[in-house]
Amino acid sequence: MDTFYKLNATDQEKYTFFSQFKMRLYDTKKLSRDTELKDENGKTLKALEIFITTFAQMKDQILQKLNQAKAGEITINDVLWMITIPAIWTDEARQFMREAAREAGFTRTRLVLEPEAAALYVIGKTLEFDSKSGTTARFQVGKKYIVADLGGGTVDMCAHEILEGDHLRELYRATGDYAGGTTVTNKFLDFFKKILGTFVKKLNPFSYFTFFKSVEKNKCSFTSSTQDLQIHLDHDQVSIAEQNAEKPLEKAIAESEFAETVSYTKEQRFVKIDKSEVHKFFDKSVNTIINSLNEILEKCHTDNITTILLVGGYSESEYVRNKIEEEFSSMEILSGEDGRYAVVKGAVLMGEKPRDIIERRARFTYGFGLNPDFIEGQHPEKFKIYWEGKAYCRGVFYKQIEAGQILHYNQQFSRDGYQEQRLQEHKHEALLTRLWRSPLPDPTYCHDEADQCEQVATIRAQAPPEGWPDVVNSVNTLIVGETELTVKTFIKETGQELETTIDFL
């Protein structure tokens, strides 16, 4: 940002500059390998290229730092790269990050969920006070809590129970929204556009950058006891704003809708904003955080959750913490030490722990789509298909995992299938295994709109040189990974074993 905004407008056009682009993966409705993002000047570039470039630069800098700090050469293959992602990100965004890292040259990677990483770091350090004994102790087995990772982009939350051996069980699936500290900054900037005009970026980019940093500083320092904020403007900002308004700035503000809550001091060039106006900048973000916490507590009302852990850079806002404490006055609210670094430090710790450290709940219902014999009166006529003269029901959803179900790393779910290949023209056709998902707990038919099913993986088994036997029996298996799923098909007659990860892009 510093480099870009110090360039004049002509020189800026020679570059592309992308800001806050990580959150674009959350904003994009249908993410793909061809998704494009616009930069600060409206130029477009493929999102995948942006992330690959970023990862490659990080990789080179980190390896350089490691080799400066340690005697002997450290190569890319010596490092396990822990890539943190918001827990509420879609499967598409998770796969996108993994592919970008691979294309950037990372050879060994693990995706970890940010609130989980933060929780592992914080609970290893956090002490809770026992009012009966008057002593403090670390969280014990059986402790249940919510970790709220309040970052710049997303607010990400999980509810956990501490198990034996420092393992965690997810009590409720991750929830949250795009409501982090950046959204508050954007509210500040939208407000200033209303009172000062859109002078900021186009007419004076460096002036905008210094103004942006001033807004960030004031946002972070705002507390419940702050009476007003004073934002300093430079000469250029005042001059351009007054040219746009065709009147002195103090008069323009006095005649605006903010006359009662905003004033301007000409001598010091301070815009003073009353706290009642500043509260509005935080309202949507704070309300989203509180609503997400209440959602978890409501769904887990029998779990006796007593503690909320606040981590992430945005959790360092005293105003945000105070609002949470007011809303949940009966609960223990703890702010993790080094809150803004809890995720990255926790991710490093996770790299030293086994992959089965956390038991998670499935976000969707997953199942194989198979074509069983058609049963008159039971299966819908619209799904009747014929194969080699026999009637089958197209796309019956055979559930393997139900949304909300507790999953363990490397857990496997299998379903037998069969296919008749008696006719000569079918002997060399590929056999397809299809995995589907749905947000509903009990979908019935893959192709029924009411069941909200989406095909997420396909395995294509090629016929052996001599062709398939008359009946082909298979075992279809769904394997739980750390953050993703793997699908396998085993053909009994040929011994073929095929595997694929789910392709969401």
Spatial neighbors of 213 by CB under 8 A, at least 6 apart, are: none
Same domain flag for 434 and 325: no
276 and 188 fall within a common domain: yes
Helix (H) or strand (E) holding 284: helix 275-299
Q: Is residue 285 part of a domain?
A: no
Which segment, 195-209, 290-304, 418-432, is predicted with the most confidence on average?
Answer: 290-304
pLDDT value, residue 137? 61
Pairwise CA distance, residues 47 & 467, whole Å? 43
Residue 154 belongs to some domain of the structure: yes
**pLDDT band (50, 70, 90) for residue 334:** confident
Q: Please, what is the end-to-end C-alpha distance for the chain in angstroms?
A: 31
H or E segment to which residue 264 belongs? strand 262-265
Q: Which two tokens stand for residue 350?
A: 């996770």
Q: Is 307 helix (H, G, I), strand (E, B) or coil?
A: strand
Q: Examine the fold and report which residue of 280, 307, 329 is the final residue of a domain before the chain moves on.
A: 280
pLDDT of the residue at 501: 67
Output helix, strand, coil percentages for the chain, rounded to the nearest 5.
35, 30, 35
**Does the structure show a pLDDT above 80 at 325?**
yes
CA–CA distance, 345 with 394 (Å, rounded to integer):
49
Closest to 29 (Cα-Cα) out of 98, 105, 90: 90
* Residue 136 confidence class, pLDDT cut points 50, 70, 90: low
Number of domains in the chain: 4
CATH code for the domain in which residue 452 is found: 2.60.34.10
**Would you place residue 459 in the very low, low, confident or very high pLDDT band (cuts 50, 70, 90)?**
confident
Kindly state whether residues 134 and 165 are assigned to the same domain.
yes
Among 359, 391, 406, give the residue marking a domain's end: 359
Q: Is the pLDDT confidence value at 130 over 60?
A: no
366 lies in the same domain as 353: no
pLDDT score of 7 more than 60? yes
Residue 321: per-residue pLDDT:
92
CATH number for the domain including 339? 3.30.420.40
The verdict on 366 and 489 lying in the same domain is yes
Say whether both 258 and 185 belong to one domain.
yes
Give buried/exposed letters for 92-121 (b at 16+ CB in 10 A, else e).
bbbbbbbbbbeebebeebbbbbbbbbbbbb
Q: Is residue 201 classed exposed, middle or buried when 0-12, 13-18 and 19+ CB atoms within 10 A define those classes?
A: middle
The pLDDT of residue 232 is 84
SS3 at position 471: strand
Is residue 289, in this structure, part of any structural domain at all? no
Q: Please tell me the predicted confidence (pLDDT) of residue 441.
A: 96
The DSSP element (H or E) to which 436 belongs, if any, is strand 431-438
| Confidence grade of residue 336 (pLDDT, cut at 50, 70, 90) | low
Is 168 among the domain residues? yes
Shared domain for 388 and 473, answered yes or no, is yes
Element (H, E) at 476: strand 471-480
The widest CA-to-CA distance across the chain, in whole angstroms, is: 92
Residues 6 or more apart whose Cβ sits within 8 Å of residue 438 = 364, 365, 367, 397, 403, 451, 452, 453, 454
Q: Could you tell me if residue 288 is inside a domain?
A: no
DSSP string, 186-239: HHHHHHHHHHH-S-HHHH-HHHHHHHHHHHHHHHHH--TT--EEEEE--HHHHH
Task: Give mean pLDDT, residues 140-153.
Answer: 89
Q: Are the beta carbons of 159 and 358 closer than 8 angstroms?
A: no
**Surface-to-core class of residue 66, CB atoms within 10 Å of its CB (0-12 exposed, 13-18 middle, 19+ buried):** middle
Is the model's pLDDT at 271 over the cut of 80? yes
Instruction: Name which of 64-68, 173-177, 318-322 the model is least confident about.
Output: 173-177
**pLDDT for 101-118, tens place per residue?**
999 999 999 998 888 888
Share of the chain above pLDDT 90, in %: 37
Q: How far apart are CA 504 and CA 11, in angstroms?
A: 39
Domain end (from 309, 339, 359): 359
Evaluate whether 51 touches 102 at the Cβ level (below 8 Å): no
CA angle 352, 90, 19 (to 5 degrees): 85
Average of per-residue pLDDT across 166-171: 88
Asked if the model's pLDDT at residue 70 lies above 80, the reply is no
Give a yes or no: residue 286 inside a domain: no
Backbone φ, ψ for residue 115 (5° rounding) = -65, -30
Please tell me whether residues 339 and 407 are part of one structural domain.
no
Range of the domain at 245: 181-280
Span 319-338, average pLDDT: 88
d(CA 81, CA 72): 19
Question: What's the pLDDT at 105?
Answer: 93
Q: How far is CA 93 from CA 137, 147, 262, 435, in A?
A: 39, 22, 41, 19
- Give a yes or no: residue 161 inside a domain: yes
Kind plus residue range of the DSSP H or E element containing 182: helix 181-196
For β-strands 44-46 and 36-38, DSSP reports them as antiparallel
Give the pLDDT confidence score for residue 132 in this predicted structure. Answer: 53
Confidence of residue 160 (pLDDT cuts 50, 70, 90): very high
- The whole-angstrom separation of Cα 274 and Cα 83 is 41
The answer to whether 457 and 437 have CB atoms below 8 angstroms apart is no
For the segment 441-470, the average pLDDT, to the nearest whole number, is 90
- Joined tokens for residue 340: 């803004």
Task: Say if residue 298 is in the same domain as residue 445.
Answer: no
Give yes or no for a contact between 438 and 364, defined as CB atoms under 8 angstroms apart. Answer: yes
347 and 397 part of one domain? no
With vertex at residue 15, the alpha carbon angle to CA 12 and CA 19, rounded to the nearest 5 degrees, is 90
Contact between 203 and 162 under an 8 Å Cβ cutoff? The reply is no
Give the residue among 462, 466, 469, 499 at the shortest CA–CA distance from 484: 499
Report pLDDT for 453: 96
- Average pLDDT across the chain, whole number: 86
Identify whether residues 117 and 262 lie together within a single domain.
Answer: no
Distance between CA atoms of residues 473 and 471, nearest Å:
6
pLDDT at 401: 95
Say if residue 157 is in the same domain as residue 216. no
Percentage with pLDDT > 70 across the chain: 94
CA 494 to chain centre: 41
